[in-house]
């Protein structure tokens, strides 16, 4: 498989599981970063070997896809998280960037970037809600909060990724394929259309010294994941369909 180490044909089932697990971790991590203020648990998570390995995997995937930029490595992310969380700087930065009370520097909702007036609860928000429902999910803040927060959208991909992994592990290939199809559609119709615009705002805030590098780096990680994931999903679905055909 192109996005994991080379394996013998008999080991493709394990390779699929490995790739599913790596994707799920990356979506879960980036979802947590953007969903709420940082805490010590996030700092500890960033410092784990599994996060470092997942980021190294993503950097390799980016290089395979022809990407020229470098991702912040796991050690630097862990140091930034521990330092910023310890002195409260990252929590204050999170509020300034994404919440308020003043207008957020980088509003984290899809509708802001995809509607002409930059407003919340627009057509794209309802489309996101419908996508969640079609896959059997609902946003935690429904119906009082916009469903199209970046943390929520990334969390949706993480939840689908986890469900696909579990289905694959128990041999429910049809279920796994269905979850992958939902992910492919959500990437195409939502995340790939606006995540880079939010990243650009965070990069601009960092360049203007209005914010540090932590959230800009994680936005870049999320965008690289979104950009590489179409190829990963296609590869996974091809393997799943091959196994399904062999079982019939």
Residue 243's pLDDT band (boundaries 50, 70, 90)? Answer: confident
pLDDT at 77 over 80: no
| 94 falls within a domain | yes
| 2 falls within a domain | no
Over residues 129-158, mean pLDDT? 90
Q: pLDDT tens across 145-173, in order?
A: 789 999 999 999 999 999 999 999 999 99
| 146 falls within a domain | yes
Q: pLDDT tens across 8-47, in order?
A: 445 788 999 999 999 999 999 999 999 999 999 998 898 8
CATH number at residue 122: 1.10.3480.10
Number of domains, the chain: 1
| 187 falls within a domain | yes
| 1 falls within a domain | no
By the 8 A CB rule, do 132 and 147 touch? Answer: yes
Distance CA 141, CA 61 (A): 33
By the 8 A CB rule, do 105 and 96 touch? Answer: yes
Give the domain extent around 238. 9-247
* Global confidence as pTM: 0.91
Distance CA 32, CA 30 (A): 5
Cβ-proximal residues to 120 (8 Å cutoff; 6+ apart), any chain: 109, 111, 112, 146
Distance CA 222, CA 29 (A): 9
| 150 falls within a domain | yes
- Provide the 8-state DSSP code for 81: H
| 60 falls within a domain | yes
By the 8 A CB rule, do 217 and 84 touch? Answer: no
| 3 falls within a domain | no
């Amino acid at each position: 498989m192109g996005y994991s180490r080379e394996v013998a044909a008999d080991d493709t089932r394990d390779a699929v599981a490995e790739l599913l697990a790596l994707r799920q971790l990356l979506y879960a991590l980036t979802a947590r970063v953007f969903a709420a203020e940082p805490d010590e648990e996030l700092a500890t998570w960033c410092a784990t070997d599994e996060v470092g390995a997942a980021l190294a995997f993503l950097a390799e995937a980016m290089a395979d896809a022809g990407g020229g930029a470098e991702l912040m490595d796991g050690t630097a992310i862990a140091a930034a998280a521990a330092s910023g969380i310890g002195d409260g700087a990252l929590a204050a930065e999170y509020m300034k960037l994404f919440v308020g009370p003043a207008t957020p520097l980088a509003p984290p909702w899809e509708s802001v970037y995809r509607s002409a007036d930059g407003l919340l609860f627009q057509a794209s928000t309802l489309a996101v809600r419908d996508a969640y429902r079609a896959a059997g999910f609902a946003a935690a803040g429904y119906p009082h909060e916009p469903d199209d927060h970046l943390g929520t959208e990334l969390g949706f991909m993480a939840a689908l990724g986890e469900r696909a992994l579990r289905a694959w592990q128990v041999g429910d290939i049809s279920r796994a394929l269905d979850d992958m199809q939902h992910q492919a559609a959500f990437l195409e119709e939502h995340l790939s259309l606006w995540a880079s615009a939010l990243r650009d705002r965070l990069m601009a805030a960092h360049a203007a010294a209005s914010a540090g590098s932590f959230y800009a780096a994680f936005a870049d990680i999320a965008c690289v994941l979104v950009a590489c994931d179409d190829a990963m999903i296609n590869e996974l679905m091809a393997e799943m369909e091959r196994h399904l055909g062999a079982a019939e």
